[in-house]
């Protein structure tokens, strides 16, 4: 009621208070529950960081072990849910497969849908953490025509995901610790980012008291877009195009600056960071190391680095405060790990899951929460009469 403020894209509107993630976009600072991202990247694991985001504090070793064990116990998908994967076209993008399967979880696990029952919320938290990587790996396997393996609960979440994505039933799968560590780091960097498009979507859907599976399925759909999580796939496609056409990075930059055909430098710019994205700094620092280990495509990395170098020295990018974001280098690493481009945004979703869960839970417990219902400024016709015929 009263004055309606016009704020397209919510540039200046805080829709919630939150105690989870702190960002200072001008200073390039990101902290989860007070801990700087650089420290978590160095010392923590994805599982521990997930616990931190969801429950508010770092776990004791016993708490971490119990969280880990609970997740391991819930990795199996209902056999009927597995049938879903055969219902999509072979060339389906795994993101809509992921959002559909997560939405379907609320039909298979009807005993954990009440957003206000602590035990049920706990159960759906653990179910989602355990099953999302399995669903993701199955979407991948289906798309390449390989059989879906059963999870092996002697492995943790990230290890299991690697095995389910790359293992075959006919031979034992040997985990590569370097690969597991690299993926674990990337998942930590994606784990939360306060009120971004997908998280705001999770909150908006959840504000109607929709269950956690339904809310997070909507978040996955929001993440799919190329301006959000889809950017990591778009960056690789952009680098490939530049490589295959033999275009000089300088010429590509001219196209971007002239806004030719709406071409953007994908992986650059951010709504909040007007200084270097601290996550991109960590990824860039490790990209060389990881790519050297995994045998990544140096030529694409070279193109990426040349584009970055040019952009950072160019008035167009300087004036607009456009810096590389987390997605600029991640695709090259995912590719070197053996994931096809279509899986990149799925990996982002696995990483972002604990953040979505934490934000949804925080909202459900917050007495200030009201159903999300933005206002509008009507620009249509004034009243007119239906013609008499």
Point out the residues that are catalytic: 270, 327
Counting every residue written for the chain, the total comes to 389
Cβ atoms < 10 Å from Cβ of 312? 14
Burial class (CB in 10 A: 0-12, 13-18, 19+), 154: exposed
How many angstroms separate the CA atoms of 343 and 256, rounded? 26
Q: Which stretch binds ligand CMC (CB under 6 A): 269-277, 293-301, 360-368, 381-389?
A: 269-277
**Residue with smaller CB distance to ligand CMC, 187 or 326:** 326
**Residue with smaller CB distance to ligand CMC, 206 or 229:** 229
Residues numbered 173-202 forming contacts with ligand CMC, rule: CB under 6 A: 193, 196
The answer to whether residue 256 forms part of the interface with ligand CMC (CB under 6 A) is yes
- Nearest approach, Cβ of 271 to ligand CMC (angstroms)? 4
The answer to whether residue 267 forms part of the interface with ligand CMC (CB under 6 A) is yes
Q: Contact with ligand CMC (CB under 6 A): which of 15, 19, 27, 227? A: 227
**Residue with smaller CB distance to ligand CMC, 104 or 346:** 346
The answer to whether residue 359 forms part of the interface with ligand CMC (CB under 6 A) is no
The answer to whether residue 136 forms part of the interface with ligand CMC (CB under 6 A) is no
DSSP state of 86: G
Per-residue buried b or exposed e for 118-147, using 16+ beta carbons within 10 Å of the residue's own CB: eebbebbbbbbbbbbbbbbbbbbbbbeeee
Bridge partners of 29? 24
Binding mask 98-127 for ligand CMC (x = CB under 6 A): ------------------------------
Q: Which stretch binds ligand CMC (CB under 6 A): 33-41, 154-162, 228-236, 365-373?
A: 228-236
Cβ atoms < 10 Å from Cβ of 106? 18
The answer to whether residue 270 forms part of the interface with ligand CMC (CB under 6 A) is yes
Packing angle between helix 327-337 and helix 298-312, nearest 10 degrees? 180
- Nearest approach, Cβ of 229 to ligand CMC (angstroms)? 5
**Residue with smaller CB distance to ligand CMC, 180 or 266:** 266
How many angstroms separate the CA atoms of 73 and 82, rounded? 18
Contact between 222 and 198 (Cβ < 8 Å):
yes
Location of structure tokens 């504090």: 57
Strand order in the sheet with 21-24: 21-24, 29-32, 35-36
How many angstroms separate the CA atoms of 40 and 35, rounded? 7
**Residue with smaller CB distance to ligand CMC, 70 or 228:** 228
Task: Count the site residues for ligand CMC by CB under 6 A.
Answer: 21
The answer to whether residue 229 forms part of the interface with ligand CMC (CB under 6 A) is yes
**Residue with smaller CB distance to ligand CMC, 134 or 186:** 186
The answer to whether residue 249 forms part of the interface with ligand CMC (CB under 6 A) is no
Q: Contact with ligand CMC (CB under 6 A): which of 167, 269, 296, 351? A: 269
Location of structure tokens 């009263």: 2
Q: Contact with ligand CMC (CB under 6 A): which of 101, 231, 239, 363? A: 231
The answer to whether residue 344 forms part of the interface with ligand CMC (CB under 6 A) is no
Contact between 136 and 94 (Cβ < 8 Å):
yes
Binding mask 271-290 for ligand CMC (x = CB under 6 A): x-------------------
Question: Tokens for 122?
Answer: 């706990």
**Residue with smaller CB distance to ligand CMC, 228 or 240:** 228
Question: Tokens for 319?
Answer: 């004036």
Question: Tokens for 273?
Answer: 């960071």
Contact between 354 and 200 (Cβ < 8 Å):
no
Q: Contact with ligand CMC (CB under 6 A): which of 42, 43, 178, 320? A: 320
Nearest CA-CA partner of 333 in 298, 373, 291: 291
The answer to whether residue 255 forms part of the interface with ligand CMC (CB under 6 A) is no
Q: How, if at all, do strands 29-32 and 35-36 pair?
A: antiparallel
> Where do contacts with ligand CMC occur on this chain (CB under 6 A)?
9, 193, 196, 227-229, 231, 256, 264-271, 320, 322, 325-327
């Amino acid at each position: 009621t009263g004055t309606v403020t016009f704020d397209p894209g919510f540039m200046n509107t805080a829709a919630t208070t939150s105690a989870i993630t702190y960002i200072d976009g001008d200073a390039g600072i990101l902290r989860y529950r007070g801990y700087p991202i650089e420290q978590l990247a160095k010392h923590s694991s994805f599982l521990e960081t997930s616990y931190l985001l969801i429950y508010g504090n770092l776990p004791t070793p016993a708490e971490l072990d119990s969280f880990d064990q609970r997740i391991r116990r819930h990795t199996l998908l209902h056999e009927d849910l597995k049938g879903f994967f055969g219902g999509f076209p072979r060339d389906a993008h795994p993101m809509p497969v992921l959002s559909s399967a997560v939405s379907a979880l609320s039909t298979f696990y009807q005993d954990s849908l009440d957003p206000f029952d602590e035990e049920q919320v706990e159960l759906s938290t653990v179910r989602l953490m355990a099953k999302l990587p399995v669903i993701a790996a199955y979407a991948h396997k289906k798309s390449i025509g390989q059989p879906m393996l059963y999870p092996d609960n002697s492995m943790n979440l990230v290890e299991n995901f690697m095995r389910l994505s790359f293992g075959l039933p006919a031979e034992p799968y040997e985990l590569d610790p370097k690969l597991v560590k690299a993926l674990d780091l990337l998942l930590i960097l994606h784990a939360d980012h306060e009120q971004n498009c997908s998280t705001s979507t999770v909150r908006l859907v959840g504000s109607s008291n929709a269950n956690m599976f339904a809310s997070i399925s909507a978040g996955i759909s929001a993440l799919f877009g190329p301006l959000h999580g889809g950017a990591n796939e778009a960056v690789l496609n952009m680098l490939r195009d530049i490589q295959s056409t033999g275009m000089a990075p300088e010429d590509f930059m001219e196209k971007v600056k002239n806004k030719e055909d709406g071409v953007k430098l994908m992986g650059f710019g951010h709504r909040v960071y007007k200084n270097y994205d601290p996550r991109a700094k960590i990824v860039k620092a490790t990209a060389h190391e990881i790519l050297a280990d995994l045998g990544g495509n140096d030529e694409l990395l070279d193109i990426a680095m040349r584009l970055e170098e040019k952009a950072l020295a160019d008035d167009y990018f300087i004036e607009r405060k456009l810096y590389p974001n987390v997605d600029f280098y991640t695709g090259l690493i995912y590719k070197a790990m053996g994931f096809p481009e279509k899986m990149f945004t799925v990996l982002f979703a696995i990483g972002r899951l604990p953040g979505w869960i934490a934000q949804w839970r925080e909202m459900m417990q917050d007495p200030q929460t009201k159903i999300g219902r933005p206002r509008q400024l009507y620009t249509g016709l004034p009243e007119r009469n239906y013609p008499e015929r």
